[in-house]
Amino acid sequence: MTAGAARAGRDPERGRGADDAATPWPRGISRQATMRISDVLRALGQEFANVSHSKLRFLEEQGLIEPVRTPSGYRQYSQADVERLRFVLTEQRDSYMPLKAIKERLAAMDADPDSAEHPAPRLATTGAPARRRWTARSVAEAAGVTEEFVDDLARAGLLPATGGTFGSAAVDVARIAGALSQYGIEPRHLRSFRTAADRQVTLVDQVVAPLRSQQASAARGRAASMAGEMGELFTRLHAAWIRQGIDDLA
């Protein structure tokens, strides 16, 4: 069952559907469309710093979300819509899952919204968006390493800083580098990995730049999705080469 089909039978106010069995995932969350696109961006901005108007419109065009249109043409969203968006953005960010696969999983979740196998929705906060910046101390505490080790990573160019603080990826980098340090691998040994990653990002940028430079929101949204999917392919390719090399050592 598609999301569009599952929405059939609901009243114009997007309240509870006449046929609860046709209610798509997630159930138990308001479907009253009272949120503007700016409200959605505020709700998701703390967790997804790169979410934008164009990204939301692209996901809508791909059939992953269906906001209500007011008589004057403005989009309005419900809390349930926000949770679907959260799911899509999380799968893209954490699993690098392509949109086609995400759409298929959402369809399965809509067909059986109460399955225990589906993720539980989390109500998005509606506070002002804020990109969290990490200090060396907070990175060290979250990653389970010393502050001195975080400073070593920064000096090695592995944790780019802005005004003395770090972005959200710093914790993962510090945690992984800390685990590698148990094998005698120091931050300086990881510089080539960072250089290779930067080159891959540059290559992705060259591919998506023509789309990103367009004014159409759909093109910019497509650029973001393509970049995520290409990043996953690069990651898998690198992992395959590492596994092959490790197998040859055995």
pLDDT at 192: 93
Residues 167, 138: Cα–Cα separation, whole Å: 11
Residues 69, 75: Cα–Cα separation, whole Å: 5
Can the peptide bond before residue 160 be classed as cis, meaning omega within 30 degrees of 0?
Answer: no
Residues 106, 65: Cα–Cα separation, whole Å: 10
Residues 121 and 29 sit within 8 Å (Cβ to Cβ) = yes
Residues 65, 222: Cα–Cα separation, whole Å: 15
Residues 94 and 102 sit within 8 Å (Cβ to Cβ) = no
Q: What is the DSSP letter of 97?
A: -
Q: Over its length of 250 residues, how does the chain's per-residue pLDDT go in tens digits?
A: 444 444 433 444 444 444 455 678 888 888 899 999 888 988 888 788 778 888 888 888 888 999 999 888 889 999 999 999 999 988 887 777 788 889 998 998 888 877 766 777 766 544 433 445 788 999 999 889 999 999 999 999 999 887 788 887 888 899 999 999 999 999 999 999 999 999 999 999 999 999 888 877 778 778 877 887 788 788 888 888 988 998 888 7
pLDDT at 14: 44
pLDDT at 19: 47
Residues 8, 5: Cα–Cα separation, whole Å: 5
pLDDT at 131: 45
Residues 165, 163: Cα–Cα separation, whole Å: 6
Residues 34, 78: Cα–Cα separation, whole Å: 6
Residues 59 and 85 sit within 8 Å (Cβ to Cβ) = yes
Q: Which amino acid does the sequence have at 161? A: A
SS (H, E, C) 161-186: EECCEECCCHHHHHHHHHHHHCCCCC
